[in-house]
Amino acid sequence: MSTLGAYFRLGRAGWVMVREGVVAALPGDELDGPARFGWRISKMLARGRARRRERSERIARAIERLGPSYVKLGQFLATRPDVVGHEIAVDLATLQDRMKKFPQAAAVKTIEESIGVPVPELFGKFEEPIAAASIAQVHPATVDADGKTGKVAVKVIRPGVRRRFHRDLEGFFLAARLQERFIPSSRRLKPVEVAQTLAQTTKIEMDLRLEAAALSEMAENIAGDPGFRVPWVDWRRTGRDVLTMEWVDGIRISDIDALRAAGHDPKALAATLIQSFLRHTLRDGFFHADMHPGNLFVEADGTIVAVDFGIVGRLGRKERRFLAEILYGFIRRDFRRVAEVHFEAGYVPAHHDVAAFAQALRAIGEPIHGQPAETISMAKLLTLLFEVTELFDMQTRPELLLLQKTMVVVEGVARSLDPHFNMWKTAEPVVGNWIAENLGPRGMISDAREGVGALLSLARQAPDLVARTERLSREIDAMAEKGLRFDAETANAIGRAEARHTRWGRVALWIIAISAAVIAFRLI
């Protein structure tokens, strides 16, 4: 019944998307066959009320009707412009994760079940919620420590949210499988893998201990950095379903008038924000991936404080080197080197021509050098870069797409603070310093040290590798003599799976037929 329920829930979600005009707003001109026919029908069903609204408003209304799971889906897809397109990704990035607050009594119960201590023993005062999102809501509270009373923010998981997400994820996986089956052109985007990534990301975000760990790791990384920090975590009052952290008194970074009234320099704040983000990305390989204005505050001394670490990004050493080299290559107009970096990293298949790829990159880079530096967007450069690499079969790199999405948001915040913001001049000290340390002589020494460490590790594993090789050789010889055999349990499982696939295929056809009949009846 769960699969049948997934079909019905997916059908309801599709109907809401159609009626709100979201499907009609999608670019469907390149579709063919049943997909194009369905897109045309959706344009008819959207009617005038949807056409009168902007696309971003249509998406927001539809997601609001569908609930918290779809809010998270929208926010996740905002990080995947390769899947939904750049324009749709920008619309999704503006989604406000605001939901109705749940009762304080439910929050108290959740805290006590998670930590195992009565709320009055944990907090001197536990107040009504001040903000609620799809996964959790935040309560102001006070704690007593060392004879002093301090204010904290208590983030509490929404009751029943895991069950709701698990149920809706069935529909997401079903949609991904149908997309792969009926829209062959979408298979290179790997919709099922996208759904699996969403499922894993959501599981992590719903364990508040992991968000606390992200806050702690970031705090260690940036301990000596100027002008940027994160709240401290109260681990004694933190569990899977509750996170207690420092209360931040500050002005939202989007409130420009209030910042100026408090004596802050918006231009200096813009520079601090960008340099901090690039430092986290290149130096640490660990960055806050949800840095929209609602998560950034400015304290009285001008320090920027970032909150809400439910979504974070990581870049390995190879990805960081790739990012630094392509940025540096575009600055120097060395398009051949930028192309070579893509091939060296294995991002573009080796059968493509490096010279042809360099020519495509020149089409991106040359217009940049004819513009004033303050008008050049690093985020737009990355967007154009991914569009070109798609022509050369570059495989989807989720970590780079998450970086691109975050760069778009952070650069947007910086330009709201300073409309004439010079991204390249501001970034140069951080990027240049990283390149000097990692791509120059010091970088070569560091690489050599890592290589020696890898060789020593391989030497320690040599006896185990030899034993595994001998065992594999014996098993291959046995297979060559006797053939490949399944045990009885495996054979039965294959039979059951095939029968189930056939049965649900028939059910799906009936649901499609009934849905078509209902739509036809409504059109009469």
Catalytic residues, by residue number, are 290
User: Whole-angstrom Cα distance, residue 402 to residue 426?
Assistant: 22
Tell me if residue 98 falls in helix, strand or coil. Answer: coil
How many residues are there in the chain? Answer: 524
Distance CA 411, CA 93 (A): 13
Give residues with Cβ within 8 angstroms of 49, minimum separation 6. Answer: 21
Task: Name, in order, each residue with C-beta under 8 angstroms of 278's C-beta and a sequence gap of 6 or more.
Answer: 427, 430, 431
Distance CA 239, CA 52 (A): 46
Backbone angles phi, psi at 141, to 5 degrees: -155, 170
Strand partners, 298: 251, 304
Q: What is the Cα 313 distance to its own chain's centre?
A: 8
For residues 226 and 272, the answer to whether their CB atoms sit within 8 Å is yes
Q: In the sheet where 296-298 sits, what is the strand order? A: 228-229, 304-306, 296-298, 251-252
Note the helical H segments in 55-95: 55-66, 68-77, 81-84, 86-93
The token pair at 476 is 């291959």
CA 286/CA 283 separation, integer angstroms: 8
| The two structure tokens encoding residue 30 | 């390149």
For helices 86-93 and 55-66, give the axis angle rounded to 10 degrees.
60
Provide the phi-psi class of 516: left if phi over 0, else alpha when psi is between -120 and 50, else beta.
alpha
| CA-based radius of gyration for the chain | 26
Apex 197 CA angle, 192 and 199, nearest 5: 95
How far apart are alpha carbons 516 and 520 in whole angstroms? 6
In angstroms, rounded to a whole number, what is the distance separating the alpha carbons of residues 281 and 263? 30
- Distance of alpha carbon 354 from alpha carbon 331, whole angstroms: 19
Spatial distance between the Cα atoms of 467 and 349, rounded to a whole number of angstroms: 35
Distance CA 279, CA 271 (A): 12
125 membership: H or E segment, kind and range: strand 125-126
Q: Which residues have a Cβ under 8 Å from the Cβ of 46 and sit 6 or more positions away?
A: 18, 19, 20, 21, 23, 24
